[in-house]
Structure 1
Amino acid sequence: MAHFPMNHPARPIYRVLSGLIGLYILMFGVWGVVLTAGESLFARESNWALGLRTNLAFSIASVIFGAFLIIGASRRTNLGHYMNLTAGIVFLVTSILMMSLLQTEANFLNFSMSTVIVSMIFGLVLLGTGLYDKVGPPELAEAERRSRDKQISEANTP
C-alpha cells in the first residue's frame, strides 16, 4: 500500500526548496512582464528573462504560479504538501506538452528547449518535495514509523 511519509525530518529543507523555486518563478515572471509589456499576449518574439524565453502570457502565468508556490511553502500544514504535488504534476505535464509543440506555431507560451528542461527539473523537485512534506500528529507519525520498522524487520527474518 502506497503512503506519504509523515513529519519527515527533512521537511524544512523541502519547504525551502519549493520556496526557492517559487521565488525564481516569481522573479522570472515579473522580469518577463517588464520585458514583454506592450507586446501581444502570445507573441513569439525573442524575449529572454533569467535564461528562459518568454512572452507576456507565460510571464503572467509565472507570476501567479510563483506566488502560489511561495504561499504553499510558507504554510506548515498539508496545504503545502498538496500544492507541491499539484505543481510538480502541472510542471511535468506542461513541459512535455510544450516540448512537443516547440517547432510549431502552437508554441503559444514561447517555450525554448531550456525552458522545457528547467520546467521538468522544477516539476521533479516539486513532486519530490510534495511526497515528503506531509504533516500529521506526532502520535500518528510515530505509529506509522513503528509499523514500517516492524514490516522491515519481518521482511529481513527468514
Structure 2
Amino acid sequence: MAGHVIHLKPIGSALDEHLPVDHKLSTVYRVGAGLMGLLLLIFGVLGLTHNIGFFDTGGDTVAGLNTNGALSVLSILVGVLLFVGMVRGGNAASTLNITLGVLFIASGFVNLALLETGLNFLAFEIQNVLFSFVVGVMLMWFGMYGRVGSALPHDNPYWRARHPQEADREARSRPGRSR
C-alpha cells in the first residue's frame, strides 16, 4: 500500500488526451464556439439592458425571443464559456461545443415541457425552444465537424486513431510519407 502513488490530473485534461490533435480542424471548432458565444453574449447583454426582472415571465422580448434577467445572465455565462473554448481551441473546443450542443437540445425539450406552467422561470416561449434546438444543432455540428462520420478521409487524425492497423498499413505502403 505504501508504494502506490496516485497521480491527479487537472479536470478536463483527461477527457481529451486520448484524442488526436488536428490543428486544421481547430479553426472550425474555434469559429463555431466564437460565433455561438457572440450570439448568446449579445442576446444576454441586450436582455440585461432592458431592465427586465430576474424571474419575470411577463413576455418581455429581445431580438424576437422572450427573456428575463435569469435567462440573460445564463446566456452571458454560456457565451463567455464558449469564448473560453474559442481561445483554448483544439479538442477542448470541440468537446465543449458538442457538450453544450447536447445541453441546448436537452434544454429545448425540458423547456418545451415547461411551457405554460408555473415552472417556466426562464420565460421560454416556443420561439426560445426552437432557438435552443437550432443553437444546439449548430454547436454539435461545429464540434463534430471532421471528428465524427462514416466517410472521414484516411488522413484525418480521428480516422487514424480509430483504425490504427489500417493507418499503419497505408503509411507503410506510401514510402517517404510520414503518418
> The TM-score by the shorter chain falls in which range?
0.7 to 0.9
Equivalent residues in 2 for 1:19-58 (5 A)?
Answer: 19-37=34-52, 39=53, 41-58=54-71
1:125 and 1:141 map into 2 onto residues whose CA distance is: 23
Name the aligned partner's letter for residue 28 of structure 1: F
Q: Which has the higher contact order (CA 8 A, sep 6+)?
A: 1
The answer to whether the aligner puts 1:72 opposite 2:88 as a matched pair is no
Residues 62 and 144 of structure 1: CA distance in aligned 2, closer, same or farther (over 3 Å): same
Higher helix share: 1
Task: State percent identity of aligned pairs.
Answer: 32
Greater CA radius of gyration, 1 or 2?
2
Gaps of 5+ in 1: 152-158
Q: Distance in 2 between matches of 1:84 and 1:146?
A: 21
TM-score w.r.t. structure 1 length? 0.76
- Runs (4 or more) in structure 1 with deviation over 6 Å come to none
TM-score (normalizing by structure 2): 0.68
Could you tell me which runs of 5 or more consecutive residues in structure 2 were left unpaired when the two chains were aligned: 1-18, 148-154, 168-179
- The whole-number CA distance in structure 1 between the counterparts of 2:48 and 2:89 is 31
Task: Give the distance between the partners of 1:146 and 1:65, measured in 2 at CA.
Answer: 32
Pick the aligned partner of 1:141 from 157, 172, 178.
157
* Counterpart in the other structure of 1:99: 112
Which of 1, 5, 12 lines up with 2:27 in the alignment?
12
1:11/1:132 contact within 8 Å kept: no
